[in-house]
Structure 1
């Protein structure tokens, strides 16, 4: 059997012919590969139970697949058959891959043109296909989405034998919400021959980019024209030659000169194309208006010669007509200036603003490898960088931290002098996903539910910039200042209550944070509100429905990773409760419960007898003489035990945890304010989590005792790999296949 493989940024896709891929409800038999792209392959499959042919898009489990899933989920608000969009039947995860099951269509418009040896299409075919695609674009606008990748390869015939010219728009891997594109200039989208002028010039974008691409698709019905435009798009739009009339253009099609009706009908097509290819996106025709155009609504096809082709010379000449009086000099000058400053127009520019002197920013170069792009900030004590959005300017003062995808800088808002935290990301998929998740959070009041507040987002010189309220320090930094001494019961209770409120709010909008750790919990202002915190960093957050697609998703930093993630089981919001339990234990112990690798975490499962909570308290001799403190500590241990249930279905919910005795009933006036929770007491706790669903016992390093000044490995294992487990494996099989630690 042949093997299907493709290089991928995160995971190599390898699917064998005749392999069966299983979801919760269906099985798909792989027959052949239909195509491949940057992120995976599309295979023709047969649904085993119904024998129905399906197209299965198989992606590496990365951000690109996640974005496409998010966009396809939005499309569920539309009827795909009525608005000519591809239909997704289900999605699932299989052996670490994201699998999207689509209806089976026929061939792409490009393949059809190739079969026809790239002869121009009939007027009737052009009219029918254009009308259907305009309906699709109008529907996308109604839900605030931009396709951003319209080209002949992404337009497919449904069934040429039954419906000769019925088509659908496919592939939403590059699709984005309209509000995200409107964040500012700097986004490089669309394949080059179909790229709108405003994309090339780095201007603000909206749904008009799709109309430009559709106009190019209409014109690119001849291979010679497509080849001529590669590398020098829109060359005709930069001309200052006089604009001839449409009648002059028709002279390039001598076959039409003797037929008045056909001449008028072709003129209607050319007139529509001219409106679709306006250089100024504000003047470009809208999909709703184009559907009312004479070419779409009024042509009498019974009067048209069925063998008539639209002259390639006639259409090619059209691009010379796009320079109107308001566009000639302005667009040409801007394009020339852009080409002088931009070394390569096919990639996002990372240059400094025109008002800055590049030579003056050489003292301190702060850079971070951002995965798909580098995030660099030029910073000087006397000449700080200013990043500008539509409405504000941010003066960069210092870098607060950095991660895999960029940096967080402390900034001052120039007009209000307000301190802000600016997260600066490369213009990649990770930044897009975080923006999508943060947009969902706007449904909540961040101050009431203890979530970080996003004030605005914008694009600047190819970077995605997120402006957040300025907070104080992270929980991890606070513990480090305290030399990792265990926290007071009062502090633990207050912080736990606020984070439970946050998790309960996230569940209400169907979101999972998936990255809860001390570094992502920040104090608001310790001087004014000593124990008020907020949950930050939604770069790993995902909708609940996406995590429920099946096993295989590796999320969460290792010391806070739930057992079901390690074992490759199905996931839900319970993963966040496990992480919060580990954070709670970190506050109590001053160290992580599981700082080792995944294998050591699972290895600590034992079958020893489980002592009672009363027996556990004997490990804290300071509490033995105080009945009230003994009861209060028992309440904490009891809550922790419910948060760290091995079985996610039995793990306590956030709403129930908010009603727990430790959160609601403790009388702090009766508590010794200097009381620490005994590390020995809590360390012993993890030996008590062994119930019918599994048994856990903590692993603590020999030289990493609570209360020492050595930093615990609170964030180890962020990129730790794990062997995913097929869905049909037994529990005992899964234990045997866990990735083992290096010696």
Structure 2
């Protein structure tokens, strides 16, 4: 049993152990209510008192109504210091492990991100930075009664925005969710929490860490290899740039910055093993399901929802904090407001399904909240652009590829073997001809000569290596004729000139 100046608590069960503290479930004797008591050794009294002051200030501002843990009191004895908070369930990481989840559903991701973004907006309004956003600090309140209703806990690393701006080299945030401005020693703001939330959001969607690393240099490889390099202004103003970048000669009489090699490995360009863990620009999310499988209403709505999720992630993972989205702007993004689904009538069933996730968690749409943190000085987030249509050239190229592949499959094996033998015969006679052909493809003059030879020998079947070039020529011909609005007859004439180099026979061209 624990006793403070005002209350007495009876021990029920232990809940878990962290790096500096233990958490257990107690029952308050005054009203028989369950609470969570966090116990820390006296050696960490300063850390515990700092967290107690932050939680007390948040409680005075009713932050517990904005998905932040409710704080009751703090007291101590000869050996320990205790923090009394509301009792909750599992954190997101433990819930994922207990249910063997590889990744979360998009509806559940949206519900969690909305609540954490609401908490970050409240913290920004109070001038507080959490600085420790991760799955372990996002806790489910009651998964059975209110699915995916969460609250933010553990304010031991919290710091005010004023103190954060005055720090010389802040060493904060876990490495996997560390923002690039913290990594480089750049000016830090409350947007470091936005970067961490994006890492949590991406991990929930992909089922793996966005930026895996074992040290800060490897973290630099992960971030800058997938998100690009920071701006020159950010690198010049950062005090730790020299720890991660070298000034090298680019071979053209100038110098450029290059990320230092890690364990003898240069910054990966897409072929090294680490690259497979980092989706470049998060395009992997857009390819979760192929729309070619069908055109049902549900699949189209899910595809639009995934593209909206990727757009929000890209806005939250901008390297420069000045260009990164803020918590208030994130709350007005279409992925959280569901405006990209509400405007389309054929998405009504999917919209109702997504809205049901909000209602089950006991949260409302951001635009329906009367206390939404809308700062008029902040730019309104525009709607996610629609998916780009395929160009005519690309469509023709894919069409010709399918037709030519189907045509070659229908040919007898013997005839195909003889054609291959005829095509391979020049390569056997001249051993360096293949290398010369590759050199010719790299120079424009050589490429034009190759196209000229192909046009004169139009009666022969196209060679394997020149077939893609031949297809691009035909596609450019059709697209050029379409751009100039030529008649079908003149289009056929131009196509026959490119393909055959001879006179135009209308029946032969369109057969």
Range of TM-score over shorter length: 0.5 to 0.7
Match of 1:563 among 177, 180, 188: 180
Match of 1:576 among 189, 193, 196: 193
Following TM superposition, by how much is the alpha carbon of 1:611 offset from its aligned partner in structure 2, in angstroms? 8.7
> In 1, distance between residues paired with 2:106 and 2:115?
14
For residue 438 of structure 1, what is the aligned residue in structure 2? Answer: 55
> In 2, distance between residues paired with 1:494 and 1:506?
19
> In 1, distance between residues paired with 2:281 and 2:213?
27
Counting only pairs closer than 5 Å after superposition, residues 188-587 of structure 1 correspond to structure 2 as 386-427=1-42, 428-587=45-204
For residue 411 of structure 2, what is the aligned residue in structure 1? Answer: none
Provide the alpha-carbon RMSD of the alignment: 2.5
For residue 651 of structure 1, what is the aligned residue in structure 2? Answer: 324
> In 2, distance between residues paired with 1:474 and 1:528?
16
Following TM superposition, by how much is the alpha carbon of 1:596 offset from its aligned partner in structure 2, in angstroms? 1.5
> In 1, distance between residues paired with 2:325 and 2:281?
20
> In 2, distance between residues paired with 1:512 and 1:611?
28
Structure 2 residue runs of 5 or longer lacking an equivalent are 229-268, 271-278, 343-347, 355-511
> In 2, distance between residues paired with 1:619 and 1:457?
47
Q: 1:617 to 1:419 in 2, by over 3 A?
A: same
SS in 1 for 2:90: coil
> In 2, distance between residues paired with 1:543 and 1:616?
35
Q: 1:649 to 1:413 in 2, by over 3 A?
A: same
For residue 218 of structure 2, what is the aligned residue in structure 1? Answer: 600
Following TM superposition, by how much is the alpha carbon of 1:590 offset from its aligned partner in structure 2, in angstroms? 2.0
> In 2, distance between residues paired with 1:611 and 1:402?
36
SS in 2 for 1:548: helix
> In 1, distance between residues paired with 2:293 and 2:201?
23
Structure 1 residue runs of 5 or longer lacking an equivalent are 1-385, 675-743
For residue 621 of structure 1, what is the aligned residue in structure 2? Answer: 290
The structure with the largest helix share of the pair is: 2
> In 2, distance between residues paired with 1:393 and 1:579?
38
1:669 aligns with 2:349: yes
Following TM superposition, by how much is the alpha carbon of 1:591 offset from its aligned partner in structure 2, in angstroms? 2.1
Q: 1:631 to 1:399 in 2, by over 3 A?
A: same
SS in 2 for 1:442: helix
Runs of 4+ in 1 over 3 A off after TM superposition: 606-616, 622-625, 666-669, 671-674
Following TM superposition, by how much is the alpha carbon of 1:612 offset from its aligned partner in structure 2, in angstroms? 8.7
> In 1, distance between residues paired with 2:117 and 2:328?
8
For the Cα contact (< 8 Å) 1:515–1:556, is it kept in 2?
yes
SS in 2 for 1:555: coil
> In 2, distance between residues paired with 1:424 and 1:611?
43
Q: How many matched pairs?
A: 289
For the Cα contact (< 8 Å) 1:424–1:466, is it kept in 2?
yes
SS in 1 for 2:31: coil
Query: Greater shift after overlay, 389-398 or 530-539?
Result: 389-398
Following TM superposition, by how much is the alpha carbon of 1:619 offset from its aligned partner in structure 2, in angstroms? 5.3
Counting only pairs closer than 5 Å after superposition, residues 710-729 of structure 1 correspond to structure 2 as none
Q: 1:553 to 1:612 in 2, by over 3 A?
A: closer
> In 2, distance between residues paired with 1:499 and 1:611?
25
SS in 1 for 2:117: helix
SS in 2 for 1:547: helix
Following TM superposition, by how much is the alpha carbon of 1:669 offset from its aligned partner in structure 2, in angstroms? 3.2
Cα deviation code 1:139-171 (max 9, x no counterpart): xxxxxxxxxxxxxxxxxxxxxxxxxxxxxxxxx
For residue 739 of structure 1, what is the aligned residue in structure 2? Answer: none
Q: 1:618 to 1:520 in 2, by over 3 A?
A: closer
Q: 1:612 to 1:557 in 2, by over 3 A?
A: closer
For residue 459 of structure 2, what is the aligned residue in structure 1? Answer: none
